[in-house]
Amino acid sequence: MNSRTTTFFKLAVMAGVLAFPVFGSDFYAEMIAKVMILAIFAMSLDLLVGFTGLVSFGHAAYFGIAAYAVALLTPKYDPANLWLALPASVLAAAVAAFVIGLFVLRTKGIYFIMVTLAFAQMAYYVFHDTPVGGGSDGIYLNFKPDAAIAGWAPFDLNEPLHLYYFVVAAMLFAYGLLKLVLRSPFGRVLVGIRSNEHRMLSLGYATFRYKLAAFTLAGALAGLAGFLYAVLFGFVTPEYLSWHKSGDVLLMVILGGMGNLAGAIAGAVALVGLQEIFTSVTKHWQLLMGLTIVAAVLFMPGGLTATPARIMARINGGKGNV
Amino acid sequence: MDFVSFLIQVLNSLQYGLLLFLVASGLTLVFGIMGIINLAHGSFYMVGAYLAFALTSLTGNLLLSIALGIPLAFVFGAILEWALFSHLYKRDHLEQVLLTYGLILIFEELRSLAVGDDVHGVAIPELFSASIPLSDNLSYPVYRLVISVVCLALAGGLYWLIQKTRLGMMIRAGSHDRDMVKALGIDINVLYRTVFALGVALAALAGMLAAPISSVYPGMGSSVLIISFVIVVIGGVGSVWGALVAALVIGFADTFGKVLLPDLAGLMVYLVMAVVLLWRPEGIFKKA
């Protein structure tokens, strides 16, 4: 696809998403909101995996920490203030990512994968085993955060339609922010680190600081996703931090094609779509999921976004892989 | 804590740590030699435990089941390496993570289809079902001691295999420089298949040994997997001796953590890992 059709395609999708809740059912509107939240989550991980070359296998930790933050900040019989709870939750995730980043970024390659996983497990057990987070039952969020500023509320998150557009806005914000970051000199350094960290070091860049900043930013955006997820579904459980969640989001990034923000979104759509289809077919849907993943790795290198180009190349008489 | 209960906890720590070593040793070998990160390794432990359950219900004897189960697991590992993992050597870690993550889902669901999702018990073999009295009201089961002894013997066997045999020489050479090993005319594919199958057999054996004490339940693979990862990281990727030391450290940290700080028990292991990594980012026994 050339860039004009791509832009047209993106605009068409965006228009569809914006118009959907007006015409479509509530059930699917909630599902689209869920997909958009997971897309934020996947884009935040793509900043690390696809652009900086850091394969984090514990990204669910920041998602879950922010989700727990909003649940813990919400009083039992009152809503929390959105303008307080949202920044506080994102900050909690960012601080966690910063601190954990100090440890994990000392390691590389296989170690990095396993150490990020282990720290995420540690966070999981904090909420699972200690009384902080209500144990394995999790916490119900009885009230969605209140958007009032000094008595005046621009919107009400209890209205499904308002919440939907709030999520749309958040996703556009995350997409725009990451685009800006990647276009900036900072983003160029991250891409440089992915292709050759030693070269960046010898060019005089303190790569550790850049990686830590990227790790923290990715954690904060994962936190934004976790916040929205908790608000949308109204409860949090330790499963939000489990390594299955970390695996799922990694899957979205890779399914969509790494190093491509639109790909991360496509990955989120694909994963939720597949889950929906498979669960409607059988109780043992994870078997189909597993087979799909294995097949995707073996036969579809480059992910979904690279596949049209590969198919086109085949059709145009190209001899092999692109 | 009085002396007898302290002694019991020490024995439990040793037994748990040594059992984890069986799983982690295969994981670290596969990492070190083939450069493969295998999330499905915990599934082999689960497969072993369910194999013990299934074979024991057929034969009525756990020891016989283990004798049957080990070759089965070895063959299973060899087939898996041939069908899937041999395609992964040239792929990056990310794709390995993904494919093996998919495998976990497949194994779990196949297990659910074949045996269901119930928790099953496996009887301790009659021969080892006694307990040794340690005080008036405390005793220690012989079976746990047997597990420790078997694991220690296997650790010794692994040492002998890797340090003293021709296969071990090839394994050590392969982890240093695989191209050179190939150039010397050693069939690296056979070597890889053997090591992988060995790892699978060890993990499955750990599962079979653990089946009577932990019972057999869905998801038993993933908890062991993550702990094994921690052990491999602490010990240093590719180092079998590092894995042994780290497994014992984790065995003690976890067991005593559960006794002394029950609220933080789940965290203990990861705290140990964080401290070790601060001290040595590439594990205690980092290989050159």
Boundaries of every domain in chain B: 11-127+139-279
- Element (DSSP H or E) covering residue A50: none
CATH of domain B11-127+139-279: 1.10.3470
A293·B99 Cβ contact <8 A: yes
In one letter, which amino acid is A80? A
Q: What is the dotted CATH code of the domain comprising A3-315?
A: 1.10.3470
Q: How far apart are CA A251 and CA A244, in angstroms?
A: 10
Of B121, B140, B124, B119, nearest to B13 by C-alpha is B140
ipTM over 0.85 threshold: no
Overall average pLDDT of the A206-211 stretch: 94
Closest residue of chain B to A296, computed from CA coordinates: B99
Distance between CA atoms of residues B27 and B34, nearest Å: 11
Q: Does the beta carbon of B270 lie under 8 angstroms from any beta carbon of chain A? A: yes
Structural domain spans, chain A: 3-315
Contact A301 B95 (CB under 8 A): yes
Which of B109, B222, B228 should we substitute to test contact with A (largest number of A Cβ atoms within 10 Å)?
B109
Give pTM, 2 decimals. 0.86
Closest partner CB to B102 (pick from A107, A243, A294)? A294
Q: Residue A24 has which token pair?
A: 């479509």
d(CA A267, CA A39): 8
What angle in degrees, to the nearest 10, is found between the helix axes of B3-34 and B220-235?
Answer: 80
What is the C-alpha to C-alpha distance for residues B2 and B8, in angstroms, rounded to an integer?
A: 10
Which one of A103, A250, A291 has the shortest CB-CB distance to B97?
Answer: A250
Q: Which amino acid type is present at position B253?
A: A
Q: What is the DSSP string of B65-99?
A: HHHHHHHHHHHHHHHHHHHTGGGTTTS-HHHHHHH
Tens-binned pLDDT, residue by residue, of chain B (288 aa):
788 888 889 999 999 999 999 999 989 888 888 888 898 999 999 999 999 999 998 888 888 899 999 999 999 999 999 998 888 888 888 888 888 999 999 999 999 898 888 888 888 887 887 888 877 777 888 888 999 999 999 999 998 998 899 888 888 888 778 788 888 888 888 888 999 999 999 999 999 999 888 888 888 888 898 899 889 988 888 888 899 999 999 999 999 988 888 777 778 888 888 888 778 877 777 654
Q: Is A217 helix (H, G, I), strand (E, B) or coil?
A: helix
Burial class (CB in 10 A: 0-12, 13-18, 19+), A133: buried
